[in-house]
C-alpha cells in the first residue's frame, strides 16, 4: 500500500445511513482525511467513481442490473473492498422482497413500472465479487470505520468483533427483557456494536448487527415459540434487517419448514 492511501466510499441500493457513519466521525474525519486521500465520496463531496483505490468501502445491496455491473468495476479498481452495513453484507431491508412477487412489490411503490429496472432479488455484495472484510450494522458506527481503516493502513487483518449483544447488556447493567418481561429479543444471536441500545431502553434487539459468533438459533427459535410466537412470526424476526445472513436465513427456513 502506498504511503498515502487512496480511499473511496461507494453507494449502491441503500439509505445512506452507513455513509453518515463516516461523517459522524467529526474531528476524527479530518484526521483521517489528513492521513489518506479520499478520492470518491459523493456524500461528502469528492466524486471520482472510477478511481483506482487502496480501500473501497461499499454501502448498499445489489438490486438492479446497473448495480451488478458497477460493483465489478469497483472491485477491479480496489485493492481492498470492505462492505459496510446490513444492506451490503446481508441484502438489507430491501431483501424482504426476496422470494416474493417482484412485480407486485414494484406495483405498490411505483405508479408506472416501465422505467424501473430491478433484479429478482436484493443480494449482498459478496454474492457478486470478492469481499475482503465485512462491517455489520444498521447502520455501522464510526468506531468500526476507524478501526478497520487503521488496520488496513497498517497492513494487518481487521478484528472481527462478533460477541453477542447479551454481553453488552451485562456490561451496561441492563436487565434482560426476555427473562424479565417475556419479550422476544434477538440479542442472544446478534453481534454487538450498538452498545445494546434497545435493551437498555426496555426494547428487544432487532438484530441490526447480524449474526454473532457461535449462534444457537435453534434454541432461540424454540424459546420464541415458547413465548407464543407462531413459526411465521419467528421467521419474520430472523428475516428482518439481515435477511440474507446465512445463519438467519437457514434458521428461518427450518422454523417454517421451507425448502
pTM for this entry? 0.91
CA-to-CA separations, 44 to 16, 29, 137, 145, 257, in angstroms, rounded: 11, 11, 21, 15, 46
Domains and CATH numbers, the chain: 6-153 (3.40.50.700), 165-256 (no CATH)
Q: What pLDDT score does 111 carry? A: 85
CA-to-CA separations, 245 to 106, 117, 239, 240, in angstroms, rounded: 24, 25, 9, 10
Q: Which residues of the chain have pLDDT under 50?
A: 1
pLDDT, tens digit (0-9, with 9 covering 90-100), for 11-69: 999 999 999 988 888 888 888 888 899 999 999 889 999 999 999 999 999 999 999 99
Q: What pLDDT score does 177 carry? A: 96
Q: How far apart are CA 174 and CA 197, in angstroms?
A: 10
- Could you identify the residue written with the cell 481503516? 149
Amino acid at each position: 500500500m502506498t504511503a498515502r492511501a487512496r480511499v473511496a466510499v461507494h453507494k449502491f441500493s441503500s439509505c445512506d445511513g452507513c455513509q453518515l457513519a463516516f461523517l459522524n466521525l467529526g474531528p476524527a474525519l479530518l484526521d483521517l482525511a489528513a492521513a489518506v486521500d479520499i478520492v470518491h465520496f459523493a456524500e461528502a463531496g469528492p466524486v471520482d467513481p472510477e478511481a483506482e483505490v487502496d480501500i473501497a468501502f461499499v454501502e448498499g445491496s445489489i438490486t438492479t442490473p446497473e448495480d451488478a455491473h458497477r460493483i465489478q468495476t469497483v472491485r477491479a479498481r480496489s485493492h481492498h473492498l470492505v462492505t459496510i452495513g446490513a444492506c451490503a453484507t446481508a441484502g438489507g431491508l430491501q431483501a424482504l422482497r426476496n422470494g416474493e412477487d417482484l412485480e407486485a412489490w414494484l406495483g405498490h411503490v411505483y405508479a408506472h413500472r416501465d422505467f424501473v429496472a430491478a433484479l429478482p432479488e436484493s443480494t449482498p455484495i459478496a454474492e457478486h465479487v470478492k469481499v475482503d472484510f465485512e462491517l455489520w450494522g444498521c447502520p455501522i458506527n464510526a468506531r468500526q470505520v476507524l478501526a478497520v481503516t487503521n488496520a488496513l493502513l497498517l497492513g494487518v487483518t481487521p478484528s472481527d468483533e462478533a460477541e453477542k449483544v447479551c454481553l453488552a447488556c451485562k456490561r451496561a447493567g441492563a436487565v434482560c427483557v426476555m427473562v424479565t418481561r417475556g419479550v422476544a429479543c434477538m440479542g442472544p444471536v446478534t453481534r454487538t456494536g450498538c452498545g445494546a441500545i434497545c435493551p437498555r431502553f426496555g426494547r428487544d434487539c432487532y438484530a441490526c448487527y447480524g449474526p454473532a459468533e457461535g449462534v444457537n438459533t435453534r434454541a432461540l427459535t424454540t424459546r420464541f415459540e415458547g413465548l407464543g410466537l407462531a413459526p411465521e412470526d419467528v421467521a419474520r424476526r430472523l428475516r428482518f434487517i439481515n435477511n440474507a445472513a446465512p445463519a438467519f436465513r437457514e434458521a428461518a427456513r427450518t422454523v417454517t419448514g421451507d425448502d
